[in-house]
């Protein structure tokens, strides 16, 4: 199979390229490198099954020859990124999704959209099933990402219903692992370097807000299964083990051997108070559930960050 991954030089996109090549796909990786990094795909350069194209997917996309699958992962995805790049985030969710869907229609390719648990906003239902419509502030600072993804989902389903495009939508919950950027702004790349360097850990709010953390290999396995399923409507992929941010900070310090204190800063606007996926649908339709424990996943991620920080 010949598969295009937009945002393929990013954290998740690069791991997806690895899995696709492992499964025998010829992979075209497209990324404008605003938040992606060629270091993430350096090990694939020179592989005859891999091709990298530096390109902005909000422009018209031309790929010569057949395409069997398009996985649209292009987007800033961390609060730091989409708060600094609000217009680009909205454009890639709208124009980028439109261009990628147009290519899928022209090539008669299967299309998979990387959506997010952020479509649920600050949820009033817990845990969050796919049937929940969400509680999102469209004009708040986080709205640029939340609404871009909500629009992308609507556009994907419109192409499915009106044009008959074979579509999939994955709603990704908090994921961590090697290749996350040190300045990503999300909780794992914030806490781990602080702990490894013996610094204080910064917790926003009082730390009572909850998150669930899925290791990257588990997520990629769920996405791959979804791609080759027959489910066209959204599917949650994430780890349902829920913990408070304060509990998570203490766990990081314990695993990484950090001795810094936990300090508290004001909670950002519209920060979700709870986040936990209902993965009943993924279990039933995909036979998928996460396998990697938090302890094992954090240790794998810590090894990567130690190398990046040059810590022995």
- The predicted model gives 9-33 an average pLDDT of 98
How confident is the model over 81-133, as pLDDT tens digits? 989 999 999 999 999 999 999 999 999 999 999 999 999 999 999 999 999 99
Check residue 185 and give its pLDDT.
Answer: 85
Check residue 271 and give its pLDDT.
Answer: 86
Check residue 183 and give its pLDDT.
Answer: 84
How confident is the model over 168-183, as pLDDT tens digits? 999 999 999 999 998 8
What domains sit in the chain, N to C, each tagged with a CATH number? 2-175+213-237 (3.40.50.720), 180-211+241-275+293-309 (3.90.25.10)
Q: For residue 269, is pLDDT > 90? A: no
Q: For residue 268, is pLDDT > 90? A: no
304 is known as an active-site residue: no
Q: Tell me the average pLDDT of the chain.
A: 96
Continuous H helices in the chain? 11-22, 79-84, 86-91, 97-107, 143-163, 187-196, 216-227, 245-256, 280-286, 294-309
How confident is the model over 147-174, as pLDDT tens digits? 999 999 999 999 999 999 999 999 999 9
C-alpha triplet 68, 73, 74: angle, nearest 5°? 115
> Using CA atoms, how far apart are residues 146 and 149, in angstroms rounded to an integer?
5
Phi, psi of 200 (to 5 degrees): -70, 145
Q: Single out the catalytic residue among 145, 176, 215, 224.
A: 145
> Using CA atoms, how far apart are residues 117 and 276, in angstroms rounded to an integer?
9
Residue with tokens 């990046």: 308
Q: For residue 244, is pLDDT > 90? A: yes
Check residue 267 and give its pLDDT.
Answer: 87
């Amino acid at each position: 199979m010949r598969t295009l991954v937009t945002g393929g030089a990013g954290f998740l996109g690069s791991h997806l390229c690895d899995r696709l090549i492992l499964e025998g796909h010829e992979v075209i990786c497209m990324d404008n490198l605003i938040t992606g990094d060629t270091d993430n795909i350096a090990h694939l350069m020179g592989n005859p099954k891999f091709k990298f194209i530096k390109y902005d997917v909000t422009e018209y996309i031309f790929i010569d020859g057949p395409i069997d699958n398009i996985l649209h992962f292009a987007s800033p995805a961390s609060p730091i990124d989409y708060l600094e790049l609000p217009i680009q985030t909205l454009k890639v969710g709208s124009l980028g999704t439109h261009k990628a869907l147009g290519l899928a229609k022209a090539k008669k390719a299967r299309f998979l959209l990387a959506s997010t648990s952020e479509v649920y906003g600050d949820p009033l239902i817990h845990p969050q099933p796919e049937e929940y419509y969400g509680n999102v502030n469209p004009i708040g600072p986080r709205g640029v990402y939340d609404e871009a993804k909500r629009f992308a989902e609507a556009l994907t389903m419109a192409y499915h219903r009106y044009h008959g495009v074979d579509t999939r939508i994955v709603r990704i919950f908090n994921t961590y692992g090697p290749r996350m950027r040190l300045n990503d702004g999300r909780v794992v790349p914030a806490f781990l370097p602080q702990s490894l360097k013996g610094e204080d850990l910064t917790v926003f709010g009082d730390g009572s807000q909850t998150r669930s953390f899925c290791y990257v290999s588990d997520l990629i396995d769920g996405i791959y299964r979804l791609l080759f399923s027959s489910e066209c409507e959204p599917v949650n992929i994430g780890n349902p083990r829920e913990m408070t941010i304060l509990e998570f900070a203490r766990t990081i310090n314990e695993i990484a051997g950090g001795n810094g204190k936990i300090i508290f800063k004001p909670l950002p606007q519209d920060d979700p108070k709870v986040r936990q996926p209902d993965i009943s649908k993924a279990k039933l339709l995909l036979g998928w559930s996460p396998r990697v424990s938090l302890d094992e996943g954090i240790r794998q991620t810590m090894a990567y960050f130690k190398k990046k920080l040059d810590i022995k």
